[in-house]
Homo-oligomer: A and B are copies of this chain.
């Protein structure tokens, strides 16, 4: 095995070398924290929670005390002005940003906020269960107030608060850019969806639900993860309530799925999470356990998972070499279903109320609703009590359906209860990044031919070459531009969707 201490990010500078050894310690605490969280989501017994929280508190404290310690400050200053390679400069940039992030909030305020948030997901979950938005509203109000306060601490040069929030998930994508992006989506996709719904085309998908044995689904999940390039020597597949990916470092990346009677649910969640996982596994070994040893941004991460799930996984060519295997695993459910029927079914457009269950076309419209509401909450001081009504109105306007209850509406997502404002847009950006990469890639190589011959590796290699290996060394916009030769351009996304779904439904 390649020596993991050999690190091209460790240049000749003695100050930087000393800084790296402090940062390595900090990363060790982070790795332990990630493992605790993973364990909590996948395995830990019910009663462990409060004790685990104490352990997490201690480790977070140790992390913060290194990252904001005098030694780090001194070393950061000492490195200033030194001639350093790009990776070292990126590490310095991240360390400085992390230091600023950790120290800009007064500790008492941060502690009070942490206490609020540790309660708030529980309050949200209960409110959702009881379909009672009023029970969550006061908590949400407090969270938004804290988030605005914290954003104000971080804001630079009259930056708007929602821009500060957006920036922490996707650098360089502020409201100005996102208004244009979402504006286009609204203008093009809402009427397009309308035409699809009125096309009269009926796609059969009843066979996707049924008595799919879990053992067989597990076998399929492992097969698919490996098939698309997830490396089980450096990775783990487990089960959790909601699928997710986590990475201790690029030699230990973990994905989860869940199994239900909807076979496509676990199947595509595994391909999706494998996309996240392959990204992390593809980070260059010289960056392992450094501050830049992980994916570039939320949006870039979603681009990789959605590329794999939608562009690759829901492509008919993908199933050419392996659909037979699916039929063999589930002969009584899929034995009589043709590959074409199966692929049409997993691409069926069906506007629904729940974001996480949305099809590829409707997905970004769910995000659009959230973007517009977050903007109002942060920039226009929208009264949270108006959220349920506005939510329903927007859904009706964009997707043509109206939630009957808040648990299927404004209460469906955990994000706001965790204080994540500004996060949602990265889901839609990811899809758009992916479409732009795909358009470029098709000019370089015959992607569908790779899929038909089962050579997913050829596609992954291109993604690794242009995106994965850089980790967090470069920003997502730069990576996208370096790869495709063009700045972010949402037209590719709209064109991709219109071509794909136009063909499926015979509309334009």
Contact = CB atoms under 8 A, between A and B. Distances in A.
Interface in A43-101: 43-48, 50-52, 54-55, 57-59, 62
Interface string A30-51: 0110011001000111111011
Contacts of A4: 50-51
A248 interface: yes
Interface stretch (A228-236, A359-367, A465-473): A228-236
A74 B232 CA distance: 49
Interface in A221-242: 232-236, 238
B236 A1 contact: no
A284 interface: no
Contacts of A248: 48, 51-52
Interface string A102-142: 00000000000000000000000000000000000000000
A252 interface: yes
Contacts of A235: 45
A47 B1 contact: yes
B52 A252 contact: yes
A265 interface: no
A25 interface: yes
Contact of A39 (B39, B46, B54, B62): B39
Contacts of A31: 51, 55
A62 to B, nearest CB: 6
B51 A288 contact: yes
Nearest to A238: B43
Contacts of A1: 47, 50
Contacts of A62: 62
Contact of A251 (B35, B36, B48): B48
A288 B233 CA distance: 36
A182 B157 CA distance: 80
Contact of A252 (B51, B59, B215, B232): B51
Interface in A195-211: none
A28 interface: yes
A28 B54 contact: yes
Contacts of A215: 215
A295 B275 CA distance: 44
Contacts of A58: 24-25, 28-29
B29 A232 contact: no
A28 B59 contact: yes
Nearest to A249: B51
A289 interface: yes
Contacts of A35: 32, 35-36, 39
Interface string A246-257: 001101100000
A45 B234 contact: yes
A26 to B, nearest CB: 9
10 contacts: A28-B59, A45-B232, A45-B251, A45-B252, A46-B234, A47-B234, A51-B251, A52-B248, A54-B289, A215-B215
Interface of A: 1, 4, 24-25, 28-29, 31-32, 35-36, 39, 43-48, 50-52, 54-55, 57-59, 62, 215, 232-236, 238, 248-249, 251-252, 288-289
Among all A-B residue pairs, the 4 with the closest Cβ atoms: A28-B58, A48-B252, A28-B55, A47-B251
